[in-house]
Amino acid sequence: MQWLTRVICTVATTQQVLPVARSGRLHPRLAQRPQGASSSTDSDCWLAMPRFYLLIAATLLFVAGGTAPASAQTLDDVFRYSERAPAIGPHDTGWLDANGTAGSGTYTALFSNPAGLGWASSSTFAGGLVGDFTTNEGRLSLPDADAGPFDRTQSGYRIGNAALTYRVPTEQGNLVLGAAIGRTRSFDRTLVASGINGQSSITDTFLPSSPSPLPNDDGSFTFDRRLTTLAFDAGAIEFDPSRADSPTNDFIQAVRPGAGRTVEQREDLIESGGLYDTSFGGAIEVAPDVMFGGAFTVAFGSYSFDRIYEEADINNTHTGSQYDVILGDGAVLSGFDALTYEQGIEADLTGFGARFGASAKPVDQLRLGVSFATPTYYTVTETFGTRIETFFDEGGSLAAGSIDDNEFEYEVRTPWRVSAGAELDLGPFNLAGDVEVIDWSTLNFTAEGAGLGVERDIDRQIRELDVTVNSRVGASFSMDALTVRGGTAFQPNPDDSGTRSDRTFFSGGISYAFDSQLTFDFGWMQERFTDEFVAYGTTEVPDARGTAPGLRADEDIQRNTFSIGMRYRF
């Protein structure tokens, strides 16, 4: 799940190594330098020889044990832009568009099987609104005991769909053209969790690679990780002269749980945004009761990730005698009080793709269909960053970084989708279902500057992804002007090594026809899955603890989507 982290990590570590902002700060006892490194020439030589190995070690630590960077970081981030909801619009949400591949006869055919437009008996204008209510039950998995569960619900209201279809007057057969916009994916999600930890801290992951770098002649340090530089500038880690002869690491953390010291940890994050498809297409009756159709799609959307992670010494177990930071002007910050670690992502997406398919009635009561969706070619532009601020018992606070000071662009090509479905018409009762096959090993990610080695590693992990079969089934029952619908759908997770579970959907809805032209639609859909958010990973630290356990939040997510809309036939 961490292959995309390696891309971002590679981009970050292959940039020019920058000196820390506190370059003028020199610890009064910094004269304790390792023997043989007393001159600048010797020191530079000592640093240069292990540079390559330090780079490798830093990269591995960042991927396996470090805090995830605030940018596209896991395979889940690519899945996020590749997945689709089972249904669009209130009419078809009621039974999860179970007849979409067979040929729905409504504007939503543009998002499933465009050939279904050919069954439309009239021209239609439609529009609707959608509301999402996402509840996340989070539980913090602490080394000593779990904390929680903590519930939080995030809500949002948006335009859900709008469409116009036109049934062209013909002397024989059907020809229907249409244009529609629909919300295909919601990213809304939030998490809050907190607990007391006496064994580890996020500052453990800030330490430089081992062996740590020697100080420069002016007292500054040059680190091989951007995260370490930020942490040092923010006072979250500090050079410790008493460890100057240590073969491992000369730095200490502001937070060191253990030996009676504890820290309260709080995770608070919000994800928001979504994807829309704008489709233009049509369907034609190429033979009696045989429809063929196609549509071109322009996809667009946005994704936002805002994270505030906090550690606080609420029990006053960290004192000034255990940790202090000396600034370049001689000012001293002492005693750890609290730390905030903020991450932000703002992503804009644009893409394009196409769909085409066929639909036919071999007998009056049965409709069959097949459809093919080409890959969607997304360009993703992210603005992202990290900010760290450390608060001290005495002296105030120290901050470094920004949540919007980096930009990264990459491309995602989603897999082909092949679907087959059927609808059985038994008068007032309709039963429909379909299956969709996706070969996730054809997923593609590209980014300039990633490097040949990283690209090969990405390709290897993509090849290990599974072929999945999405399925949905639904039923409807009509009573005069009222139609009632219900359905269920299942979307497996293609990554067996991932933390997220398969996604399950349930739905229900009604339609009421005021007359032959105007119809009101209502649909409800519920999505359920479990996931895990890693606050920071297990890390080797140079003190009595040895290995500091990581921190994660286990999540149970339930998203309820409500759609309302109107259809007008003319």
Give the tens place of pLDDT for each residue, 125-170.
Answer: 999 999 999 999 999 988 877 888 999 999 999 999 999 999 999 9
Per-residue confidence band for 451, with pLDDT thresholds at 50, 70 and 90: low
Per-residue confidence band for 320, with pLDDT thresholds at 50, 70 and 90: confident
Which pLDDT score is estimated for 378? 95
Amino acid at 41: T
Q: What is the rounded CA–CA span in Å between residue 313 and residue 208?
A: 24
Can you give the pTM of this predicted structure? 0.83
Q: What is the rounded CA–CA span in Å between residue 492 and residue 450?
A: 30
Residue where the block lists tokens 């009509």: 478
Mean pLDDT of 111-119: 97
> Is the per-residue pLDDT at 48 higher than 70?
no
Per-residue confidence band for 543, with pLDDT thresholds at 50, 70 and 90: low
Which pLDDT score is estimated for 27? 42
Per-residue confidence band for 75, with pLDDT thresholds at 50, 70 and 90: low
Which pLDDT score is estimated for 405? 86
CB atoms within 10 A of CB 189: 21
DSSP state of 19: B
Q: pLDDT (tens digit, 9 = 90+) per residue, 351-396?
A: 999 999 999 999 999 999 999 999 999 999 999 999 999 999 999 9
Which pLDDT score is estimated for 454? 58
DSSP H/E element including 233? helix 226-233
Which residues make beta-bridge pairs with 261?
A: 258
> Is the per-residue pLDDT at 65 higher than 70?
no
- Answer whether 88's CB lies under 8 Å from 163's CB: no
Q: Is 3 helix (H, G, I), strand (E, B) or coil?
A: helix
Q: Is 102 helix (H, G, I), strand (E, B) or coil?
A: helix
C-alpha neighbours within 13 Å on the C-beta side of residue 275: 24
Q: Which of 261, 268, 41, 28 is nearest to 154 (CA)?
A: 268
Quote the distance between the C-alpha of residue 221 and its chain's center: 34
CATH of 3-569, one of 3.40.50.300, 2.40.160.60, 3.30.413.10, 1.10.1200.10: 2.40.160.60
Spans of all domains in the chain: 3-569
Whether the ω angle into residue 149 lies within 30 degrees of 0, i.e. cis, is yes
Give the Cα-Cα-Cα angle 498, 146, 150 (nearest 5 degrees).
85
Which pLDDT score is estimated for 521? 97
Determine what percent of the chain is predicted with pLDDT higher than 70: 83
Q: Which of 414, 271, 438 is nearest to 351 (CA)?
A: 414
Mean pLDDT of 63-83: 56
Residue where the block lists tokens 């504890």: 262
> Is the per-residue pLDDT at 516 higher than 50?
yes
- Answer whether 100's CB lies under 8 Å from 487's CB: no
Per-residue confidence band for 51, with pLDDT thresholds at 50, 70 and 90: very low
Which pLDDT score is estimated for 495? 87
Q: pLDDT (tens digit, 9 = 90+) per residue, 164-207?
A: 999 999 988 999 999 999 999 999 999 999 999 999 999 999 99
Pairing of strands 324-326, 332-363: antiparallel
As a whole number, the mean pLDDT across the chain is 84
